[in-house]
Amino acid sequence: MGGARGREYVLTLSCPDKPGIVYAVASFLVQHSGNILASQQYGESPDGRFFMRVHFTVPPPGQPLADLERDFSWVAEAFHMTWQLHDQAVRVRTLIMVSRKGARPYHQAHARGVKLVGATAHYVTPDLDEGPIIEQDVARVDHNMNVEDCAAVGRDVESAVLARAVKWHVEHRILLNGNRTVVFA
């Protein structure tokens, strides 16, 4: 990251939805010579919140993160934002925990004639398997498969779901909305 394009950052934010948010963020970036590489937003949540992710660069040598954070605070205050600014050159420290569905789930699924196996990736909370969901997927299985075949299909789905969830997390594409997530995939 960095290089000829300058320093890369990702700004994520949520706030009460009202006119002018995108304009204020874009104006801030223009004032700081920022170039938007990607921008995503969602403004129709049930609780009236607006969510936004902006990936941008600032020209070399690039403005330090602390300066951008200080300068953005007036925009954040004006719109009552919860926000984070991430320097893309900084690695994201992440702890990954994997539980194993322990009651031999694929044996149970096979015995009951299940036609779909699936996986869910979510954030960890004190309640087991109750955290905000990041990603889910399913795959079809059928009566011709034995338990080992079903388990292999399940492991493939689990791997793909986990990989997508981790990628989206480290790219700051997931914003929490209470016990739900907004995912800018």
Whether the per-residue pLDDT at 138 is higher than 70: the answer is yes
Higher pLDDT: 147 or 2? It is 147
pTM: 0.89
What interhelical angle do 105-112 and 147-170 show, nearest 10? 130
pLDDT band at residue 1 using 50, 70 and 90 as cut-offs: very low
- The radius of gyration of the chain from alpha carbons, rounded to an integer in Å, stands at 21
Phi, psi (rounded to 5 degrees) for 169? -65, -50
Q: Which of helix, strand or coil describes residue 166? A: helix
Whether the per-residue pLDDT at 147 is higher than 50: the answer is yes
CA atoms within 13 A of residue 114's CA, in its CB half-sphere: 20
Structure tokens at 175: 């914003």
Q: Which of helix, strand or coil describes residue 101? A: coil
Averaged pLDDT, 112-119: 93
| Domains, the chain, with CATH or none | 3-90 (3.30.70.260), 105-170 (no CATH)
**What average pLDDT does the chain have?**
92
Whether the per-residue pLDDT at 123 is higher than 90: the answer is yes
Q: Which of helix, strand or coil describes residue 149? A: helix
Whether the per-residue pLDDT at 3 is higher than 60: the answer is no
